[in-house]
Amino acid sequence: MNTHHLLIQFVTWFVLCYFILLNGGYLLLNLLSLRTLHRKGQEDMLDDLPRAYSGLEPPVSILVPAYNEEATIAASVRSMLQLTYSEYEVVVVNDGSKDGTLDVLKREFGLLPFPEAYRRQIPAKEIRAIYRSTRFQNLRVIDKFNGGKADSLNAGINAARYPLFCGVDADSVLQRDSLERVTQPFLRDPTVVATGGTIRIANGCEVSGGFLTRVGLPRNPWALFQVVEYLRAFLFGRLGWSAVNGMLIISGAFGVFRKDAVVSVGGYRPDTIGEDMELIVRLHRLLRERRQPYRIEFVPDPVCWTEAPEDFKTLKNQRIRWQRGLAESLNANWGLMFSKNGGVPGWLAFPFMLLFEWLGPLVEVGGYLFMIVSFLLGAISWQAFSTFMFVAIGLGILLSASGLLLEEMSFHIYPHGKQLLALGVVVLVENLGYRQLNTWWRLVGLFRWAMQKEATWGTMARKGSFADKP
């Protein structure tokens, strides 16, 4: 009887502590990001001044993997050709599209086949042909057999001419100064190997000609929840990690990398779902192993906008996919955790991800279930249960509110007071079901990943050898 009592008490204590630590950790990250934001705010004034290029900015190759994007590819590529940057090229990689993507490109940009001596630095699927645009000097299109996004990026890296490359999604909506902003860290610090841009929600915004013309809030409730969620978890959290060089994810929708660094770690891994995160974690692991000084930074300016899922099913599948990607990325790079030269990534970021993101859904869902069941069975008092709910939801609201505060302090992109009010309401409501639903989906993702791992025991050896490749 006594041990039962103690056990329940222990679990309650554990669950409470976990929720406090989880939210506390994110709050701390948001606090860390304050300093960087403050600094940026002071430099914003310089942005307004007319730009003068010295012509010595590092040139960038923009890689655009495209699969079945015939409806939007022309506008997207056109907008990428209008970025304000002194020298860059656009390399569209047609990943064996089954629709008219290549035909649209050929027509809109006057493509002609080009005898290019293709360089195989990273293994990728066969190339069918390389085209060059007759209308735009800096546009090339690679047509290859289907291999997935990571494989397309590798092919793009092989064909890229410049020392920096920028991976974007075909449906990313950029701003004219996006490339300038996201390459700033490379200018400030020669050891930077990768930078990530902030992804914002394009739903509800006016987009025309591939560029964002007016910012607005979506009407769809799922999209609204995601706006606040992005502010809470993806924006300033990442900036906080970036401040201590512990950033483990750069979104595939917009990121700039040093080509030689990426080639030296083997390029993107084609057999994972979360290839964007896996590359960054691997960069941390291998560069730390080699004791090479490096930095991976995050640029908080709103530089890239994407359409968020607006219905239950798509959102669910996206989150399940993300969790599986996270699990695969962490699993492929165990060597980073607590490694000798691990630094912040190895000793703080990786364990944090492991505990609160990977294992998190299990503890959170378990915690909720435990509390509810125990209360219903009378094992814990109303006091204990209500305190738990109070803390879990209260801290969540605090976290969401802090995200909103940081956004207002820094970029305040939503101009109308009514929009702020709407976001305030969403901050409250988000924690009363949406966040918990998300946690459930992530648990499903974790479960599916674990199941898949079991099923592919035989291929584990092969996967392992790839991960160790220098």
Partner 1 sequence: MPLPTLALAPGFGPPSDPILAAAFWTGIAALLLTLLLGLQIVRLRISLRARERRRARTLARWRPVLNAAIAGDSPQELPRLLASERLHFIKLWVHLQSSLRGEAGAALNAIACRLGLDAEARTMLGRRARTERLLAALMLGHLGDREAWPQLLRLTGLDDPTLSLTALWALVRIDPQAAAEYLTPLFVEREDWAMSHVAGILQQAGTPVAAVLAGMLPRLNPDRLPRALRIAEALWVELPAATLAAALANESIAVVTAALRIVNTPLLRDRVRALLAHADWQVRVQAAKALGRIGDRTDVERLVALLADREWWVRYRAAQALAELPWLKRADLDALRASLEDRYAADMLAQVVAEQDAANAKQETPAGTAMVDA
Partner 2 sequence: MSAQPTVLVVEDDVHIAHVLTFMLERQGYLVTHVADGRAATAHVLGNPAPDLVLLDVMLPYVDGFEIVGLIRAQAGWQETPVIMLTAKNTERDTVRALDAGADDFIIKPFQPQELLARLRRFLKTAA
Residues of the shown chain interacting with partner 1 in the complex, contacts defined by CB under 8 A = 1, 4-5, 8-9, 12-13, 16, 20, 39, 41-43, 45-46, 48-50, 52-58, 107-108, 110, 114-117, 119, 132, 134-135, 137, 186-190, 377-384, 387-388, 390-391, 394-395, 397-398, 401-402, 404-405, 408-409, 412, 417, 420, 424
**Out of 2, 3, 42, 54, the residue judged to bind partner 2 by CB under 8 A:** 54
Q: Which of 294, 268, 337, 233 is nearest to 22 (CA)?
A: 233
Q: Report if residue 52 touches partner 2, rule: CB under 8 A.
A: yes
Least spacing, CB of residue 302 vs partner 2, in Å: 16
Q: Are 355 and 18 in contact (CB under 8 A)?
A: no
Of partner 2, partner 1, none, which one sits near residue 82, judging by CB under 5 to 8 A according to partner kind? partner 2
Q: Report if residue 82 touches partner 2, rule: CB under 8 A.
A: yes
Of partner 2, partner 1, none, which one sits near residue 454, judging by CB under 5 to 8 A according to partner kind? none
One-letter amino acid of 97:
S
Residue range at the interface with partner 2 (CB under 8 A); choices 45-53, 64-72, 113-121, 351-359: 45-53
Give the nearer residue to partner 1 in terms of CB position, either 57 or 278: 57
How far is 179 from 79, CA to CA, in rounded Å? 12
Helix/strand/coil for 208: strand
Angle at 342 between CA 337 and CA 348, to 5 degrees: 65
Task: Mark out the alpha helices in 307-434 (DSSP H runs).
Answer: 312-332, 343-344, 350-352, 360-377, 382-410, 417-429
Q: Report if residue 161 touches partner 2, rule: CB under 8 A.
A: no
Q: Are 248 and 297 in contact (CB under 8 A)?
A: no
Q: Report if residue 84 touches partner 2, rule: CB under 8 A.
A: yes
Least spacing, CB of residue 207 vs partner 2, in Å: 12
- Measured from the Cβ of residue 176, the count of other Cβ atoms closer than 10 Å reads 13
Helix/strand/coil for 199: strand
Least spacing, CB of residue 144 vs partner 1, in Å: 18
Beta strands at 127-133 and 60-66: parallel, antiparallel or unpaired = unpaired
- Rg value, the chain, Cα: 23
Q: Report if residue 88 touches partner 2, rule: CB under 8 A.
A: no
Q: Report if residue 209 touches partner 2, rule: CB under 8 A.
A: yes
Give the nearer residue to partner 2 in terms of CB position, either 24 or 59: 59
Task: Scan residues 102-131 and list those touching partner 2 (CB under 8 A).
Answer: none
**Out of 107, 176, 214, 219, the residue judged to bind partner 2 by CB under 8 A:** 176
- Measured from the Cβ of residue 301, the count of other Cβ atoms closer than 10 Å reads 20
Positive or negative, the CA dihedral 100, 314, 273, 447 is negative
Least spacing, CB of residue 187 vs partner 2, in Å: 16
How far is 428 from 228, CA to CA, in rounded Å? 10
Give the nearer residue to partner 1 in terms of CB position, either 68 or 121: 121
HSE (side-chain half, CA atoms, 13 Å) at 340:
3
Question: Which residues are near partner 2 by CB under 8 A?
Answer: 50-55, 82, 84, 86, 176, 208-209, 211
